[in-house]
A and B are shown apart, each in its own frame.
Chain A
Amino acid sequence: MSRNTRILMSVIYWAFVVYLFVPLVLMVTMGFKDSKFIGFPIRGWTLDWYSEIFRSAEVLGAFGYTMAIALSTTFLSLVIGTWIAAFLGPHKFRGKLLVFALACMPAVIPGIISAISLRIYIQFLQIDTGMAAIILGHTIHNVPFVALVVMARLATLPKSHIEAARDLGADQLVAFSRVTLPYLKPALIGAGVFCMLLSFDDFVRSFFLGSYQPTLPVLIFAKLRSGMSPEINAISTVVLVITAILGIWAERSMRRMNKGTSV
């Protein structure tokens, strides 16, 4: 690579970094602005917006509601997704590809289409809009991701490990819980965190399937309509910090565990 190309490459790289981070930096900065309006110039700084959101029953309620949905969704998605992976992984049968494609479809259907069809579906099932409906919608969307991640991990589990467990006296259930599940742990953590983030972040499904209690993204959307205020920036910054910590933790623990199990 010539000197000029190298300079050009690093310029492009840094331009991209700026392009990625400037909006985030602006968002975080505005959360500390001592004014009701977002924009420059900034004449004073304050933590009032943060103290306000941590005292606001509306924001805290939405946060708790969203967390509860995310946790339930993650639990259900992990159980169903692992079950599908364990079922599709080792068995050979007619139409396996079809089952696999069907299981993966919710992941690729556009959010708005999925949201509308789910709305019709819950009406048909006579499920009221609200928490149960949102959990149902999120779970259907998340299961394929879990199934794919777990299947990939399962494919690397040597058959002899299960056979060794059976040989030493384990029935199928014990072999699964004591050998397969621990082996899947890094995949389950990764998939679980991904489910949490997907569910926490989701707007379209939560909007269509929710009732009067808004989730956090729906609340932010509602607040936006009454005008941009630094309060929104403060909420978003808190969400950003939590998701970043969660993501980094998942990445690190997966890396550590993968190293330990690559025997």
Chain B
Amino acid sequence: MSHDAQTIVHIENMTKRFGNVAAVDGLDLKIRAGEFVTFLGPSGCGKTTTLRVLGGFEIPTEGRIILDGADVTRLPPNRRNVNMVFQDYALFPHMTVGQNIAFGLELKGKTKAEIDARTRELLEFLQLGGFRDRTPDQLSGGQRQRVALARALAPDPKLLLLDEPLGALDAKLRGQVQVELKDIQKRTGKTFVFVTHDQEEALTMSDRIIVMNGGKVEQDGTPEDLYFRPQSRFVAEFIGETNLISGTVRGMENGSVLINWNGVDIHGAAHGHRPTEGSKVTASLRLENVLCHPQKPANSNAIEGRVVNRLFKGSRTSVDIRVGDTGEGALLKAYLDPGDASRIRDDRLWVNWDVSHLSILQA
């Protein structure tokens, strides 16, 4: 299966070392045109270095960058058709909003009429109509962010790079800007490469998330893939809250994997791999995927448990459940709806889940 026709950039086996430390280690991936791709990971995972390599600010130690079919590995930033929105926006303080946006167009040798038209179009598009003649210090954080976006979009780049551009905004504004940014990406049809350490930001906006850790890709998939079918413990723990369940594989049953978890038999799914019988595995089960029942549901292999801890959180109650009758480690975290919470007597309940939601991690 080849996506070559749609591939806008191919990061080919790219390694970037600073001294002896490999910031990015053998990264190999293709980004499709029109995708909103997010590199997600903790600080030092190599996400920003990858972005800077794409922008031309770092030259990789090994590997190549193929942009729209051409090798740009060693091209300086001014000679590749890629633009970046910087974390601090990097608006030129001595220029007005209009001059900032026009900067890249002037350097591309556009005529005055073309520059005027494009600037006007972008100001309109990003709702900056009245701000053309203001200087950056007369703008709010959200407005500066939009000017930075307009300036980067102006030269019509093949790839728009965004380096944690929401970090400087307050929490309330950030949620709004996330929606705006996704909307702008859809309307322009541009390929956005976004870098963040904020998993919520990544889940909200991306078509595809690449989780990085220690310079390598941990998992590459849709937000749903990553959330419900994490492949590694790192991804399961980094994104959202989850139950990590360790047990021994007892065998296959009706296409699902039977696991002995501290004496309790449970069913799970191995997405795309086959754990061998007798091996120790860890599985991830999201809190919201644990279904709690006040009475034992009919025709199901629900297991009995006891609520050992309750935390009221408004719209739902977070509970710790001790499952089965043996074992210290058989603890499960889950959420209760207000209705269920009131119907549970003596803290006794039954839990089950959709088998595909108990995702067995690789290694």
Contact = CB atoms under 8 A, between A and B. Distances in A.
A168 B94 contact: no
Given A168-B103, A262-B137, A163 B86 contact: yes
A263 B93 contact: yes
A165 B152 CA distance: 11
A95 interface: no
B77 A263 contact: no
A161 B88 CA distance: 9
B76 A166 contact: yes
Contacts of A90: none
A184 B155 CA distance: 27
A182 interface: yes
Contact of A167 (B78, B88, B94, B135): B78
B92 interface: yes
7 contacts: A158-B90, A161-B92, A164-B92, A166-B56, A166-B57, A167-B82, A262-B137
A163 B155 contact: no
A168 B155 contact: yes
Contacts of B88: 158, 160
Contact of A263 (B55, B56, B136): B136
A263 B103 contact: no
B151 interface: yes
Contacts of A253: none
Contacts of A160: 86-88, 90
A163 B135 contact: no
Contacts of A170: 78, 103, 107
A260 interface: yes
Nearest to A181: B94
B84 A164 contact: yes
A58 interface: no
A169 B90 contact: no
A182 B77 contact: no
A208 interface: no
A261 interface: yes
A59 interface: no
A263 B83 contact: no
Contacts of B57: 163, 166
Contacts of B84: 163-164, 167
B358 interface: no
A169 B104 contact: yes
A183 B94 contact: yes
A160 B107 CA distance: 18
Contacts of A165: 92, 103
Nearest to B106: A169
A1 B23 CA distance: 59
A260 B135 contact: yes
Contacts of A174: 107
B108 interface: yes
Given A260-B137, A263-B137, A166 B78 contact: yes
B91 interface: yes
A24 interface: no
A171 interface: yes
Nearest to B57: A163
A136 interface: no
A167 B77 contact: yes
Interface string B92-123: 11100000000110011000000000000000
B93 A260 contact: yes
A254 to B, nearest CB: 14
Contact of B90 (A164, A182, A260): A164
Contacts of A161: 90, 92
A179 interface: yes
Specify which of A158, A167, A174, A260 lies most central, judged by the most chain B CB atoms within 10 Å of its CB. Answer: A167
A4 to B, nearest CB: 47
Interface in B138-174: 151-152, 155
B135 A168 contact: no
**Interface-central residue, B55, B76, B86, by most chain A CB under 10 Å:** B86
B50 to A, nearest CB: 16
Nearest to B135: A260
Given A158-B88, A168-B107, A183-B94, 20 more contacts: A160-B90, A161-B92, A164-B90, A164-B92, A165-B92, A166-B77, A167-B77, A167-B82, A167-B84, A167-B152, A168-B151, A169-B107, A169-B108, A185-B94, A260-B94, A260-B135, A261-B94, A262-B93, A263-B93, A263-B137
Nearest to A179: B92
A168 B82 CA distance: 8
Interface centre among A163, A169, A183, A260 (most CB of B within 10 A): A169
A176 to B, nearest CB: 13
